[in-house]
A and B are shown apart, each in its own frame.
Chain A
Amino acid sequence: MNELALAVPWLGKRNPLAARWLVIAIAIGAPIVAMMFGRTWVRVLDFALLYILLALGLNLVVGFAGLLDLGYIAFYAVGAYTAAFLASPHFDVHLPIWIVLPLAACFAATAGITLGFPVLRLRGDYLAIVTLGFGEIVRIFMNNLNYPINITNGPQGINSLDPIMLFGWDLSRNIQVTEDLAINSLFLYYYFFLACVVGSIIFIQRLQISRVGRAWAAMRDDELAAKAIGINTRNMKLLAFSLGATFGGVSGVLFGTFQGFVSPESFSLMESIAVLTMVVFGGMGNVAGAIVGAIILSALPEILRHLAVPVQNALFGHVLLDPEVLRMLLLSLAMILMMLLRPSGLIPANAKYSHIRYLKAKGVTE
Chain B
Amino acid sequence: MEIFLQQIVNGLVVGSVYALVALGYTMVYGILGLINFAHGDLVMVGALTALQTMMFLMGVAPGMSPIAMLTLSLLVAIPVCMLLAFTMERLAYRPLRNAPRLAPLITAIGVSFLLQTLAMIIWGRNYHTFPQLISTTPLQPIEGVFITPIQITIIIVSALMMAGLVLLVTKTKLGRAMRATAENHRVAALMGVDTNMIIALTFVLGAALAAVAGVMFASNYGIAHYGMGFMPGLKAFTAAVLGGIGNLGGAMLGGIVLGLVESFGAGYIEHLTFGFLNSSYQDIFAFMILGLVLIFKPTGLLGERVSDRA
Q: How far is the CA of A144 from the CA of B270 in the complex (A)?
A: 13
Indicate if the CB atoms of A133 and B107 lie closer than 8 Å.
no
Which residues on the B side are within 8 Å of A130 (C-beta)?
287, 290-291, 294
Q: Would B283 and A136 count as touching, CB distance under 8 A?
A: yes
Per-position 1/0 for B44-61, Cβ under 8 A of A: 000000000000000000
| Residues A105-159 near B (CB distance < 8 A) | 118-119, 121-130, 132-134, 136-137, 140, 143-144, 147-148
Of B67-75, B112-120, B259-267, the segment with at least 4 beta carbons within 8 Å of chain A is B112-120
Residue B109 CB within 8 A of the other chain: yes
CA distance A25 to B183 in the complex (A): 58
**By the criterion CB–CB under 8 Å, are A329 and B114 in contact?**
yes
Please tell me if the beta carbons of A122 and B294 are within 8 angstroms of each other in the complex.
Answer: yes
| Closest Cβ–Cβ distance, residue A142 to chain B (whole Å) | 12
**Would you list which residues of chain B between 91 and 128 have a CB under 8 Å from chain A?**
92, 95-96, 99-107, 109-114, 116-117, 120-121
Residues of the B chain whose Cβ atoms lie less than 8 Å from the Cβ of A125: 34-35, 101, 105, 310
Assembled-state Cα–Cα distance A333/B102 (Å):
17
User: How many A residues, CB 8 Å from partner?
Assistant: 44
Give every chain A residue within 8 A of B277 (Cβ-Cβ).
Answer: 144
B120:A124 contact, CB within 8 angstroms = no
Docked CA distance A340–B295 (Å) = 33
Per-position contact with B for A301-337: 1 when CB-CB < 8 Å, else 0? Answer: 0000000000000000000010001001101111110
B203: Cβ under 8 A from any A Cβ: no
Are B237 and A118 interface neighbours, CB within 8 A? no
Dominant secondary structure of chain B at its interface with chain A: helix
Query: Contacting B307 at CB < 8 Å: which of A122, A134, A277?
Result: A122
A280 within 8 A of B: yes
Residue pair A325, B276 in contact (C-beta under 8 Å): no
How many B residues, CB 8 Å from partner?
Answer: 46
The winner among B102, B107, B281, B308 for most chain A CB atoms within 10 A is B102
Interface residue? B278 (CB, 8 A) = yes
**Smallest CB separation, B274 vs chain A (Å):** 9
Q: Of the candidates A122, A144, A148, A334, which one forms a contact with B275 in the assembled complex, judged by CB atoms under 8 Å apart? A: A148
| Distance, CA A343 to CA B109, complexed state (A) | 15
- Measured CB to CB, the closest approach of chain A to B120, in angstroms, equals 6
**Partner among B111, B278, B287 whose Cβ is within 8 Å of the Cβ of A336:** B111
Hey, what's the 0/1 contact readout for B281-305 against A, CB within 8 Å counting as 1?
1011011101100110010000000
How far apart are the CA atoms of A280 and B237 in the complex, in Å?
Answer: 24
Q: Is the CB of A144 within 8 A of B121?
A: no
Bound-state CA distance A335–B105 (Å) is 11
**Secondary structure call for the A interface:** helix
Q: In the bound complex, how far is the Cα of B113 from the Cα of A277, in angstroms?
A: 12
A340 to B96 Cα, complex, angstroms: 7
**Chain B minimum-CB-distance residue to A66:** B102
Which chain A positions have C-beta within 8 A of B111?
A: 332, 336
Within 8 A of B (CB), among A256-279: 270, 273, 276-277
Is B280 engaged at the interface, CB distance under 8 Å to the other chain? Answer: yes
- The reply on B234 being an interface residue by CB < 8 A is yes
Interface check A339, CB cutoff 8 A: yes
Q: Does A68 lie at the interface of the complex (its beta carbon under 8 Å from any beta carbon of B)?
A: yes
- Which B residues are CB-close (under 8 A) to A70? 109
Interface contact B284-A126, CB-CB below 8 Å? no
Cross-chain contact B116 with A328 (CB below 8 angstroms): yes
B102 and A124 contact, CB distance less than 8 A: yes
Taking a contact as CB atoms under 8 Å apart, the answer to whether B234 and A147 are in contact is no
Q: Is the CB of B110 within 8 A of A129?
A: no
Residues of B within 8 Å of A132, CB to CB, are: 234
Residues of B within 8 A of A66 (CB): 102
How long is the Cα–Cα vector from A68 to B101 in the complex, in angstroms?
Answer: 10
- Please pick, from A62, A128, A321, A335, the residue contacting B110 in the complex, using a CB distance under 8 A: A335
Residue of A nearest to B107 (CB): A339
In the complex the two chains form, is A332's CB within 8 Å of B117's CB? yes
Check A148 against B283 for contact (C-beta < 8 Å).
no
- Tell me, in angstroms, the Cα distance from A121 to B107 when the chains sit together: 24
In contact, A121 and B307 (Cβ under 8 angstroms): yes
Of listed A133, A140, A147, residue having the most chain B CB within 10 A: A133
Shortest distance between the CB of A188 and any CB in chain B (Å): 35
**Chain B nearest CB: distance from A341 CB in Å?**
9
Residue of B nearest to A339 (CB): B107
**Chain A minimum-CB-distance residue to B110:** A335
B107 touching A336 by the CB < 8 A rule?
yes
Bound-state Cα–Cα, A7 to B104, Å: 27
Interface residue from A124, A329, A333 paired with B310 (Cβ < 8 Å): A124
Is B284's CB under 8 angstroms from A339's CB?
A: no
Give A139 Cβ to nearest chain B Cβ, in Å: 10
* Known contacts A132-B234, A329-B114, A340-B92; is-contact A140 B283 (Cβ 8 Å): yes
Q: How far is the CA of A347 from the CA of B277 in the complex (A)?
A: 47
Contact among A129, A280, A339, A340 for B35, CB-based, below 8 A: A129
Question: Can you list, as one digit per residue, whether each of A332-359 has a CB less than 8 Å from chain B (1) or not (0)?
Answer: 1111100110010000000000000000
With A140-B284, A333-B114 as known contacts, state yes or no: A123 contacts B310, CB within 8 Å. yes
Instruction: Give complex CA distance A140, B286 in Å.
Output: 13
Residue numbers in B under 8 Å from A118 (CB-CB): 291, 295
B105 in complex: contacting residue of A124, A137, A270, CB < 8 Å? A124
- Using known A-B contacts A136-B283, A140-B283, A144-B280, determine if residue A122 contacts B310 with beta carbons closer than 8 Å: yes
Sample (17) of A-B pairs whose CB atoms are under 8 Å apart: A68-B106, A121-B298, A124-B101, A125-B105, A127-B310, A129-B234, A129-B241, A130-B291, A136-B287, A137-B288, A140-B284, A147-B278, A148-B276, A328-B120, A336-B92, A336-B114, A340-B107
Interface residues of A (CB under 8 A from B): 62, 66, 68, 70, 118-119, 121-130, 132-134, 136-137, 140, 143-144, 147-148, 270, 273, 276-277, 280, 321, 325, 328-329, 331-336, 339-340, 343
Known: A123-B308, A126-B241, A325-B121. 10 other contacts (CB 8 A): A122-B298, A125-B101, A128-B35, A133-B290, A136-B284, A148-B276, A270-B113, A325-B117, A332-B112, A336-B110
